[in-house]
Amino acid sequence: MTGYTFAEKALARAAGVASARAGDLLDVRPDVIFSHDNTAAIRKTFLQTGAQRILHPERVCITLDHAVPAPTTDHALNHAEIRAWVAEQGIRHFFEVGRGICHQVISEEALVLPGEVIFGSDSHTPHFGWMGAFGMGVGRTEMAALWAVGELWLRVPESMRVTLTGALSPGVTTKDVSLHLIGAHGIDGGEYRSVEFAGDALDALSIDERSVLPNMMAEFGAMSAYMPPNQRVFDYLEAKRQRNYTPLYPDADAEYAEDIHIDIGSLRPVVARPHQPDNVAPAGDLYGEVVQQAFLGTCTNGKYEDLVAAARVLKGRRVSIRTLVIPSSAEALKRAAADGTLSILLEAGATIGTPGCGPCMGNHMGVPAPGEATISSANRNFKGRMGTSDASIYLANPYVVAASAITGRITDPGEFLS
């Protein structure tokens, strides 16, 4: 008998069964469920079921983040409906406009913990793999069902292991590791799988650096992602956590559908060119490609350390194109304000937006005009993602975004970091 993967262990636990194997169909009861601006639409479906009260309101988190502050009356109405619902159902974990992006806020608030299962009506829910939680995105009907009955059917995924060794070079980040992986294996390389990271390289990573990898696994087709939690993770969660937890680790002899090894020390800054996250090329090879806007933000790379990275490049320099910085949370913004990072960005000519998703999915300020190209620290660059289908999106790490903001071209940050 071979051992169990993390996904098999976490889902067996949440389904209340002794053990589970990839391929098993389980009714899983997540510890935490969340939604965002799509909560009002979920409410409509929920009420159609005939249920009236959310079964476990204490497990529900709701964050207003996708279009904040409300850019139109429609969005304002949507937010108002959600506030009324939150009050009616007694949902305590509600985060208002400006608090930040759901994945980042729930992480900062330690509302989910290692070894737990979290389902969100957002495709980047694998994000919570950074702490060793099983995160999976669900549809709106599924979220309505979770409100009503607290459980959801799912097929236990096969797992693949990605072992990272070595140390990142200056100007290279876990965004490059993610894009490299997706570029090498395609946007369906992790399809319907749990991507379980392993290897010595993980120990050196900060919390902000960790969270990029599982977040980006949504672009790999993964159902979920996992990183083994370490002391740094436990310390981060300690101050805010409201319950005990038991971290889970895959068995040494667990069976993986695929084993991939990456020496992250060999990586250079890369860029995903339009219109797919696996269309990856070295940033240094793309200097001929002109961009009209730089966007630093999103649940992938709008964190405090991402702002610091951009500030390292922009210190004492000026941007030559419009440059939008939208911190992923109020906490990130406060820290950047307190230590002077924000001043550096402002001095360089950047514009600062309200913590939230910003123009990431084309719903809020900062959307491009037809024919324009944006260099972005986001996760997804499909055609039409930022609004118009005639715009191009290049995905990169914060150093590349900042360097490109200076030159107005896709730029390897190397020369700005010495």
Partner 1 sequence: MTSSHRAWAYGDNVNTDVIFPGKYTYKVRDPKDFAAHALEDLDPSFATQARPGDVIVAGRNWGCGSSREQAVTALKYAGVVAIIAASFNGLYFRNCVNNGVLPIVCPGLRDAVATGDIIRIDQAAGEIFVGEARFTYTPPPPGVQAILDAGGLLPMLQARFRG
Q: Give the footprint of ligand SF4 on this chain (CB under 6 A).
A: 66, 101, 122, 124, 298-299, 357, 360-361, 378-379
- Select from ligand SF4, partner 1, none the partner in contact with residue 395, using the beta carbon and a kind-dependent cut-off of 5 to 8 Å: none
Binding of partner 1 by 191 (CB under 8 A) = yes
Quick one: 245 or 256, whose CB is closer to partner 1? 256
Quick one: 321 or 357, whose CB is closer to ligand SF4? 357
To ligand SF4, the closest distance from the beta carbon of 22 in angstroms equals 27
To partner 1, the closest distance from the beta carbon of 390 in angstroms equals 10
When computed from its CA atoms, the radius of gyration of the chain, rounded to whole angstroms, is 20
Binding of partner 1 by 382 (CB under 8 A) = yes
To partner 1, the closest distance from the beta carbon of 340 in angstroms equals 35
Binders of partner 1 among residues 271 to 290 (CB under 8 A) are 276
Quick one: 13 or 385, whose CB is closer to partner 1? 385
To ligand SF4, the closest distance from the beta carbon of 36 in angstroms equals 7
- Select from ligand SF4, partner 1, none the partner in contact with residue 141, using the beta carbon and a kind-dependent cut-off of 5 to 8 Å: partner 1
Quick one: 2 or 72, whose CB is closer to partner 1? 72
Look at the block and give the residue holding tokens 């680790």: 249
Nearest to 204 by CA among 244, 173, 161: 173
3-state secondary structure of 397: coil
332 phi/psi in degrees, rounded to 5: -60, -40
Cα–Cα distance, 209 to 151 (Å, whole number): 32
- Select from partner 1, ligand SF4, none the partner in contact with residue 379, using the beta carbon and a kind-dependent cut-off of 5 to 8 Å: ligand SF4
- The CA-based angle 224-207-243, given to 5 degrees, is 75
DSSP for 282-306, written as a single string: EGGGGTT-B-SEEEE-HHHH-SHHH
Nearest to 117 by CA among 30, 1, 22, 23: 30
To partner 1, the closest distance from the beta carbon of 361 in angstroms equals 4
Element (H, E) at 364: none
- Select from ligand SF4, partner 1, none the partner in contact with residue 15, using the beta carbon and a kind-dependent cut-off of 5 to 8 Å: none
Quick one: 325 or 360, whose CB is closer to ligand SF4? 360
Describe the crossing of helices 39-49 and 73-89 by its angle, rounded to 10 degrees: 50
Residue 69: cis peptide before it, omega within 30 degrees of 0: yes
For the record, the structure tokens of 107 come out as 């992480």
Nearest to 297 by CA among 320, 328, 270: 328
Binding of partner 1 by 41 (CB under 8 A) = yes
Cα–Cα distance, 63 to 101 (Å, whole number): 7
- Name which position in 11, 28, 133, 148 contacts partner 1 (CB under 8 A): 148
Between the alpha carbon of residue 364 and those of residues 63, 110, 251, 405, 409, the distances in Å are 16, 28, 44, 21, 24
To ligand SF4, the closest distance from the beta carbon of 336 in angstroms equals 17
Interaction site with partner 1 (CB under 8 A) = 25, 37-38, 41, 45, 48-51, 66-67, 74-75, 78, 121-123, 136-142, 144-145, 148-149, 153-154, 157, 186-188, 191-192, 221, 223, 276, 361-363, 380, 382-385, 387, 389
